[in-house]
Amino acid sequence: MTGAQVLLKGLLQEGVEIIFGFPGGAVIPIYDELFKQSEIRHVLSRHEQGAAFMASGYARASGKVGVAMATSGPGATNLVTGIADAYMDSIPIVCLTGQVPRLMIGRDSFQEADTTGITMPIVKHNYLVYDEYELPIIVREAFHLARTGRPGPVLIDIPKDVSTAEIDLNRVKRRELRGYHPVYEGSEEYLDRAADLINDAQRPLLYIGGGVIASGAHEEVRQLAEAGNIPVAWTLMGKGAFPESHPLAVGMLGMHGAAYANYAITSCDVMIALGVRFDDRVTGRLETFAPEAKVIHVDIDPAELGKNRTPLVPIQGDVKQVVTQLLPLIEHRPRMAWHEQIAQWKAAYPLRIKGEEDGRLKPQHVIQALNEITKGKAIVTTSVGQHQMWAAQFYRVEEPRRFLTSGGLGAMGFGFPAAIGAKFARPEEEVWCITGDGSFQMNLQEMAVAVLHKLPIRIVLINNGYLGMVRQWQQLFHEARYAETYLGGVPDFARLAEAYGAAGRRVEKVEEIIPALEWAQEFTDRPVLLDFRVAQEENVFPMVPAGGDTGRPLLEEPGAE
């Protein structure tokens, strides 16, 4: 078999059903073999970054490993943002890149780039295949690494002559991965200590993140919360890991989290941190983050234990396995005073829309209406900016893998291609993309993919004419000097969608929101874009300024509290 044939055989053995990619000279042999077969589907993106985000959306929605492919040089470098996004959010993807022939490596050959060197800081592992007989082993290892332990991206860089080389499979040797043995079960000693802390706590709080979703531990976490009568708060990446309608649900923490969630974590006496990394967007200034809390931290990656906050009880292990071990040790406690305090904060500091009576179309109105018509059951993707935070605040999710967003990297342009990947992963589900006029223009070319494949993705475009989150910071902290954040020269997005063959509609009044969303739901054979012309200088509140105290969020513009 040729290297390209061996590669495809390996992908099939790993259960790959779809590849998102863009061809070029160094991967022509691989694409030639793809053309000859029908078991693996290929989706042609219109930009390699789009392919990486599609693979990420596929992985986030399905829990499977997403696959993206690009050629050498610029093809590979265009994948970098998507790879970094997957690395920051611990998303399992495998990226296949072409490389110039082995004898031409290091000679500044046409479309040559040091892909493994460039991506080394943003992958879980990467490979440059110098020996064609290593290829089948590498494919197997790559998928194993991507999906086990703390998930993440793995890259395989394949020189063109490796793709065309003849390989005698009888000569392929097996090998074991040395030094890679993730720990899944928690230490009994530390589990006992954690249980004692939880059972004795007056004000415990579960602080959960993306690791809960990655490990499939949402049901176990719900059982833990109910067993101990423990309130639950979550990070942006943990949204969906706990039902938002549950009586023990507190809300999202952090920079734009609910004020009552931040007050709760500031006041808790025992913090049970599950699958989180104490990100700066959650903690603000570390010295003032939950200052009285005794911390129990569970994570499968030992590098996260003590990295930002030193736990009293560090437990290395898979969240699902550790919580399963912990459950029999937890005793039910009433903790009435603690629950009453949280209820008082919720009543006093609700998420609200300032100035609703002025009649202007607000982004929050749109998100609330979307939540109403979908009942929170749709898969929602977002790009990055103000719309992302409004979506996190006002779109209520009951299940995991239904809110997909770029968390750690904060990559604009993520939402729409991720929605395409999610729709391919779960075609029976309703998929909505919430994006901004700045983010959408970064990857709007992928509209061609959605139209070509007749994907009924519904796009909610929050159009305020600005790079909204940067403008908000400029307004609040730089005396409203809006340096290069006004987006002049934007197209008529609804007409642009129609030019691609999608459906489009502009919405400018509050009373038009529900009819427009229901209209979008009528289309089943093409994407739909709704261009919501919202108030231009609406801000996202609450807000904890970078490096600020999470116990003292800004509830509105400084001086207006």
One-letter amino acid at 533 equals: R
Residue 515 tokens, joined: 């009819």
Q: Coil, strand or helix: which one is 273?
A: strand
Give whole-number Cα distances, 387 to 242, 264, 457, in Å.
22, 25, 18
Give whole-number Cα distances, 260 to 18, 32, 347, 368, 544, in Å.
43, 57, 9, 19, 13
Residue 28 tokens, joined: 């022509």
Q: Which residue stretches of 395-511 are H helix? A: 415-425, 437-440, 447-452, 468-477, 493-500
Give whole-number Cα distances, 270 to 13, 117, 195, 206, 414, in Å.
45, 43, 11, 9, 36
Q: Coil, strand or helix: which one is 432?
A: strand
Cα(215)–Cα(217) distance, integer angstroms: 5
CA dihedral sign of residues 330, 331, 332, 334: negative
Among 151, 210, 185, CA closest to 324: 185
**Catalytic residue annotation:** 48, 110-111, 160, 469
One-letter amino acid at 462 equals: I
Distance from CA of residue 112 to its chain's centroid? 31
Give the max Cα distance, the chain: 75
Query: In terms of residues, how long is the chain?
Result: 561
Q: What is the 3-state secondary structure (H, E, C) of 133-182?
A: HHHHHHHHHHHHHHHCCCCCCEEEEEEHHHHHCECCHHHCCCCCCCCCCC
Residue with tokens 């207006």: 560
Helix 48-62 and helix 415-425, axial crossing angle in degrees, nearest 10: 50
